Amino acid sequence: MTVRQVLVRKGGGVYSVHPQATVLEALKKLAEHDIGALLVMEGERLLGVFSERDYARKLVLLGRFSKDTRVEEVMTREVITVTPETTLEEAMRLMTEHRVRHLPVLEEGRVVGVVSIGDAVKAIITEQEVLIEELSRYVMENR
């Protein structure tokens, strides 16, 4: 299974925030969409990722205030990305190795989606359910 197949199932919607937005604005957007991370973008250019982890570790623990801090001050700048042709297995390996939960998907340098660890797990479970169903049908037909 590829990242493209996961995006087709979940949809390619991308939620983003401008680097000059306040962390409070970003947190409101996370809550509004019930997601754990936002891409930080200036126009079509990917600059970083802002996640709940960034908020917890870079703001709360340092005693900073979300209404006074810009997203660009606390976002993760070193973003691990994948392409639509990346296998789901490779995407999960990257998430595990780099300890990230969200991978922006780039095609020809343009953001076309985001795959989360939750998307990956859901896709694998769905794939396994289909396989189990097929095997059960095969067993029943060949009794």
pLDDT tens across 85-108, in order?
Answer: 999 999 999 999 999 999 999 999
Given the DSSP bridges, would you call strands 102-107 and 110-116 parallel, antiparallel or unpaired? antiparallel
**Cα angle: 89, vertex 91, 94; to 5 degrees:** 110
CB atoms within 10 A of CB 71: 26
Q: Are 134 and 109 in contact (CB under 8 A)?
A: no
CB atoms within 10 A of CB 66: 17
pLDDT band, very low/low/confident/very high, at 60 (cuts 50, 70, 90): confident
From the list 5, 3, 28, the residue with the least C-alpha distance to 17 is 28
CATH classification (class only), 3-141: alpha beta
Output the pTM of the full model: 0.84
Domain positions in the chain are 3-141
pLDDT band, very low/low/confident/very high, at 10 (cuts 50, 70, 90): confident
Token output for 48: 């970083």
pLDDT of residue 129: 77
Per-position DSSP letters for 71-122, written without gaps between them: HHHHSB-S---B-TTSBHHHHHHHHHHHT-SEEEEEETTEEEEEEEHHHHHH
